[in-house]
Structure 1
Amino acid sequence: MRIDYDPAQCDRDTFYRLLTATVVPRPIAWVSTTSAEGTDNLAPHSFFTISCVSPPIVQFTSVGRKDSLRNIEDTGAFVVNFAPEPLFEQINATATDFPRGISEFDAVGVAREASLRVKPPRVAASPVALECELHSTVRLGDSTVVFGRVVHAAIREEAVVDGHPEVTRLAPLTRLGKNEWGTFGGVREIARVPYKQWQEDEEDAPR
């Protein structure tokens, strides 16, 4: 037995809650921008993923027209700061709907550091920063998907093991449904099986 939901028959908020509770866990883009007037903005966006590797492009969705989106449209630059578990309360606080012109960095007490290639600052305590230039945007209903070309990546030394970011040191924080957040629970590894190996295994299997 299943419960059926028809998006055409549901109100917007009901289906939003359904989607955000089932498409989980979602990584968080902690996006820093600078307005045309020079105010630094910082906000978490949980509709976030990689779009392309060559060239490197990441994407996040602004649900509604938030300051992050307006600043990126005006200046063409932003930084995706990795959202780690130890900064949980600061990340949540920067989601507050501060009036335009108030910097979340200052209101919440988040330390900045200068970026290398773009004007918006990085979050100093974040283990990874992806500096991006605006590639394009796509409007979808009440939301806008922002595509950013990564022009520089900066990773804290202590988060790297053998030249590779180590997930236990990154301690990723994720979004779930309602007011729920997810923390890192562990790793399971399994290699993908090439089709040729699959065929050989099938031929060698006892009959």
Structure 2
Amino acid sequence: MFYEPRRRNHGLPHNPLKAIVAPRPIGWISTLSADGVANLAPYSFFNLVSETPDIVMFSSHGLKDTVRNVMATGEFVCNLPTLELMEAVNLSSKPIPPGESEFDLAELERAPSRLVKPPRVAAAPCALECVWIETTELRDRHGATTGRHITYGEVIGVHVDEAYVEDGRLRTDRMRSLARCGYFDYAWVETLRSVPRPT
């Protein structure tokens, strides 16, 4: 089977591309609006893209509340979603009016951040406090705008629940970190295998 993404000529009822590029980490991004309303939304086009400096990115289809809040305040938090939080993650993706909060919708407790104003998800075992660097609109190979916006932020503070630290290492498998796959599918980390790099 071969298909061209722009032509969608794969003959399947759903696009398989996001099932191919999977699992993808989820950036559960919390922000504050200019009016102080806490927003929380999951983004599966998310990742750590640099270290020293530590930079994360997330991509949004359109200038959603999250992106507008980041651009207005210059701050956001990436909360780590886990298997135990999957239903809340999914619920927080529901479109609601800008004056309402997904924290309230999903009945999630907020925790204060140290260096930025947006709150963290108290139940998330890890969180990254970030300062906005820039937001850029993606263009395709012909230079046309796409309506997809990538937001970059520098991590200036890291929260880690020490219950998941063992022998000096953070245990991703014990946290059961959540990821997105294709369609409406989720995955989580339960097994790790360490393979040292060759010398």
Report the TM-score, using the length of structure 2 for normalisation. Answer: 0.90
List structure 1 runs of 4+ shifted beyond 4 angstroms. none
1:182 to 159, 175, 187: 187
TM alignment of 1:1-207, pairs within 5 A: 3-10=1-8, 17-140=15-138, 141-194=146-199
Q: Which residue of 1 aligns with 2:142?
A: none
Counting aligned pairs with the same residue, the percent is 40
Deviation for aligned residue 1:133: 0.2
How far apart are 1:185 and its partner, in Å?
A: 3.7
Kept after mapping to 2: 8 A contact 1:130/1:152? yes
Q: What does the per-residue CA deviation read over 1:38-73, in whole Å, with 9 as the maximum and x for residues that have no partner?
A: 100001001111111011111111122211111001
Structure 2 Cα separation of the partners of residues 118 and 106 of structure 1: 20
Count of residue pairs brought into register by the alignment: 190
C-alpha RMSD of the superposition: 1.7
Say if 1:158 and 1:169, in contact at 8 Å, map to a contact too. Answer: no
1:98-144, CA deviations, whole angstroms, 9 ceiling, x for partnerless residues?
11111000121010000000010000000001000001122111211
TM superposition shift of 1:5: 1.4
Determine which structure has more spread, i.e. the larger CA radius of gyration.
1
Secondary structure in 2 aligned to 1:152?
Answer: strand
| Secondary structure in 2 matching 1:143 | strand
In 2, Cα distance between the equivalents of 1:17 and 1:94? 24
Q: Give unpaired runs (5+ residues) of structure 1.
A: 195-207
Change in CA separation of 1:185 and 1:158 when aligned onto 2, cut-off 3 Å: closer
